[in-house]
């Protein structure tokens, strides 16, 4: 392990002086940054290095963790100078994709910051997707304005290699969407100049002004839709998600890739996930894909922000009428 560079240390010290508890933190320790791993003596071991271990140097291309997606978004992944929007409903796999991208960037020695404006980051889910929590800089500001200001200072100081913005559906009271939109455009410009990969998680229901600003600020827009659950017997053990290149400055739009996401739990069941013949697809219903409008006055249900929750099982319906008394029949 090695000490942080002077630029990173100075940026973090400035942020902590100005914002105190809202300044970036790491779920672990921010005192050190990872060094690239020493190359193995046996060249054959290079192909089998664990995903969680850093490789030599900081790559100019960040892989997404899904080879099929890497093949359609760029030359084997996302350029460090790119800006990307991931849009999808809850359980679409958008957060999982962002976490896998973070894990791949960390494996190449990159410093990653996660601006948790939606307050939805789950450390357990992140670790399950391969993220090294002790290398992840997490920003948990009180307000959207505060978070964007901190992110701007990190980008201006060239302190991070990847910055993830997990946006909330609505700005805080007193903050106009037009102001937030302008701040997002400035952040995108700073990220391009700093050659920092900017990843924006766009939730459904974003205001039109903010949605337009996000679209204009990013060069690549991926829309994710869950197409099927993957089952092992009756258990939901994964999902199939379709990723669509809706907009791209780096190639033609309209390309698609299928992402296969499995829910590993670290137990004995995980061994079965390695056998595709034991798994079956359960296609998603239309109601699972399209957001249905609730009647006026109906309280909105609490939708989990977990990237890949299993479907809820409905209780059995109540009987239509009173149950008839049981009768004993003669032999």
List per-residue pLDDT tens for the chain, 331 residues long: 445 556 556 656 666 666 555 555 544 433 233 333 333 443 333 333 334 443 344 568 899 999 999 999 978 899 888 899 999 998 999 999 999 999 999 999 999 999 998 888 999 999 989 999 988 999 888 888 888 899 999 999 998 999 999 988 777 666 777 888 888 889 989 999 999 999 999 988 888 888 888 888 888 999 999 999 999 888 888 999 999 999 988 878 999 999 999 887 666 677 777 777 788 888 865 444 433 333 334 343 343 334 444 443 444 445 555 555 545 555 5
pLDDT score of 213: 82
pLDDT score of 264: 75
pLDDT score of 271: 76
Sign, Cα dihedral of 4, 6, 8, 13 = positive
pLDDT score of 8: 57
What CA–CA distance (Å, rounded) separates 58 from 60?
7
What CA–CA distance (Å, rounded) separates 91 from 241?
9
CB-CB contact of 316 with 274 (8 Å): no
CB-CB contact of 30 with 12 (8 Å): yes
- 91 three-class SS: coil
CB-CB contact of 140 with 23 (8 Å): no
What CA–CA distance (Å, rounded) separates 210 from 70?
27
pLDDT score of 284: 66
pLDDT score of 33: 32
Measured between alpha carbons, how far apart are the two ends of the chain, in Å? 82
pLDDT score of 185: 87
49-64 burial, b if ≥16 CB within 10 A, otherwise e? eeeeebbeebbebbbb
Tokens linked to 289: 């894909």
- 149 three-class SS: helix
pLDDT score of 316: 43
Choose the CATH number for 2-37+50-218 among 2.40.100.20, 2.60.40.10, 1.20.1050.10, 3.40.50.300: 3.40.50.300
What CA–CA distance (Å, rounded) separates 40 from 212?
48
CB-CB contact of 159 with 24 (8 Å): no
pLDDT score of 14: 64
CB neighbours of 107 closer than 8 A, spacing ≥ 6?
51, 52, 53, 54, 55, 130
pLDDT score of 269: 72
93: left (phi over 0), alpha (psi -120 to 50) or beta: left
Q: Quick check: pTM over 0.75?
A: no
Q: Would you mind telling me the total number of residues written for the chain in this entry?
A: 331
Helix (H) or strand (E) holding 198: strand 197-202
| Locus of tokens 């590993």 | 264
pLDDT score of 62: 92
Helix (H) or strand (E) holding 289: helix 286-289
CB-CB contact of 184 with 213 (8 Å): yes
């Amino acid at each position: 392990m090695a000490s942080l560079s002077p630029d990173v240390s100075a940026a973090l010290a400035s942020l902590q002086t100005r914002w105190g508890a809202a300044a970036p933190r790491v779920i672990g320790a921010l005192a050190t940054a990872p060094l690239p791993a020493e190359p193995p003596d046996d060249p054959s071991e290079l192909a089998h290095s664990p995903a969680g271990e850093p490789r030599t140097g900081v790559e100019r291309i960040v892989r997404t963790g899904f080879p099929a997606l890497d093949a359609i978004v760029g030359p084997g992944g996302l350029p460090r100078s790119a800006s990307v929007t991931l849009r999808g409903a809850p359980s679409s796999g958008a957060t999982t994709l962002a976490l896998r991208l973070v894990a791949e960037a960390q494996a190449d020695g990159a410093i990653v910051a996660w601006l948790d404006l939606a307050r939805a980051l789950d450390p357990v889910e992140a670790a399950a997707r391969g993220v090294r929590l002790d290398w992840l800089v997490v920003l948990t500001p009180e307000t959207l304005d505060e978070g964007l200001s901190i992110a701007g200072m990190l980008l201006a100081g060239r302190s991070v290699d990847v910055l993830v913005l997990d946006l909330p559906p609505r700005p805080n009271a007193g903050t106009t969407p037009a102001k937030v939109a302008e701040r997002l455009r400035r952040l995108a410009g700073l990220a391009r100049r700093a050659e920092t990969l900017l990843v924006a998680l766009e939730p459904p229901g974003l205001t039109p002004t903010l949605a337009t600003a996000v679209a204009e600020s990013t060069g690549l827009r991926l829309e994710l839709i869950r197409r099927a659950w993957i089952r092992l017997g009756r258990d939901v053990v994964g999902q199939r998600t379709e990723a669509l290149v809706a907009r791209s400055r780096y190639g033609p739009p309209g390309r698609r890739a299928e992402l296969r996401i499995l829910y590993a739990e670290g137990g004995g069941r995980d061994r079965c996930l390695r056998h595709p013949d034991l798994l079956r697809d359960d296609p998603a219903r239309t109601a699972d894909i399209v957001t249905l409008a609730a009647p006026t006055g109906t309280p909105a249900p609490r939708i989990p922000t977990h990237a890949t929750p299993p479907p809820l099982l409905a209780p059995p319906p109540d009987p239509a009428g009173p149950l008839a008394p049981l009768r004993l029949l003669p032999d």
